[in-house]
Amino acid sequence: MLLKTEVLLEGLKFPECPRWHDGKLWFSDMDMLKVMTVNLSGDAKTIIDMPKSPAGLGWLPDDRLLVVSIQDRPLLRLDPDGLTELADLSKIASFHCNDMVVDKQGRAYIGHCGFDLLNMKAFKPADIILVTPDGNARVVADNMAFPNGTVITPDDKTLIVGETLGTRLTAFDIMEDGSLTRRRIWAKLNRPPDGICLDAEGAIWVSSPGSGKIFRVLEGGQITHRVKVSTQPYACMLGGPDRRTLFVATSSMDRSNGRIEIIKVDVPGAGLP
């Protein structure tokens, strides 16, 4: 059965990295250079105007916002007096940084492209970078094919990441110090994944740009649900009071017609983000 979304918010350009937090959906609009929120009534608010394109979002245990800046590659923290650079990743990430998940201890797992994909440069593998709340950064997984959307299971023991150019979801065990071990394929996919989110049955919703759909995938690769969006989906998040509202960040291929779309689902969200 093919389900369809309805539009919650229009007038965006390229929304990405949605997160449900404090009763609202937070997201980055990469092309409008804004971090924004929208509630279930469709009321939108700009939280911060960014100097460069924002991407992954997360929160420290004290509720300060963390934001990945794409082109210049710092991890930024929003303090009461404005943005502060928590970590400079420009010497670690070989190209633009992108999505991120922040665990309960405030440790940020950040992916990057590895190479200039938009200009069709030669492929180079990328890394997952771990940044601790004090700003220390180190590589915890290498030789990856564009690590993108990322989730952490409710028990805090497993990290699953979509490798966009590997057309797969890859899982790791999370060690006590935040290191990643026991790398394995969680699911092989038929299309490149972008943003993802996890539900309480352990399934992952996968955004699939180019297909016009998002898919609910079980470990091993079985697809249980398909949802059609108005243009192209780039990221998704389960939120709302019961975490049964599936939010999808969409845009046209020319990145001019961005929207937040929604649909109710049966299984609530779980884990992080």
Q: What is the residue-level pLDDT of the chain in tens, covering all 273 positions?
A: 689 999 999 999 999 999 999 999 999 999 999 999 999 999 999 999 999 999 999 999 999 999 999 999 999 999 999 999 999 999 999 899 999 999 999 999 999 998 777 777 788 999 999 999 999 999 999 999 999 999 999 999 999 999 999 999 999 999 999 999 999 999 999 999 999 999 999 999 999 999 999 999 999 999 999 999 999 999 999 999 999 999 999 999 999 999 999 999 999 999 999
Tokens describing residue 19? 């997160």
Reduced DSSP (H G I as helix, E B as strand, rest coil) percent helix, strand, coil of the chain, to 5 = 0, 55, 40
Largest CA distance in the chain: 49
Q: Is the Cα dihedral 39, 44, 45, 51 positive or negative?
A: positive
Token look-up 């996890």 returns: 198
**Where does residue 193 rank: exposed (0-12), middle (13-18), buried (19+ CB within 10 A)?**
buried
Q: Across the strands, what pairs with 57?
A: 67
Going across the sheet that includes 232-239, the strands are: 6-12, 258-264, 245-251, 232-239
Q: How far is CA 242 from CA 34, 101, 166, 225, 266, in A?
A: 27, 21, 33, 20, 10
Task: Count the alpha carbons within 13 Å of 65 in the hemisphere toward its beta carbon.
Answer: 25
CATH class for domain 2-264? mainly beta
pTM to 2 decimal places = 0.96
Using CA atoms, how far apart are residues 213 and 80, in angstroms rounded to an integer?
39
For residues 226 and 153, what is the distance between their CA atoms, to the nearest angstrom? 22
Q: Within 13 Å and on the Cβ side, how many CA atoms surround 180?
A: 23
CA–CA dist 75, 132 (Å, integer): 11
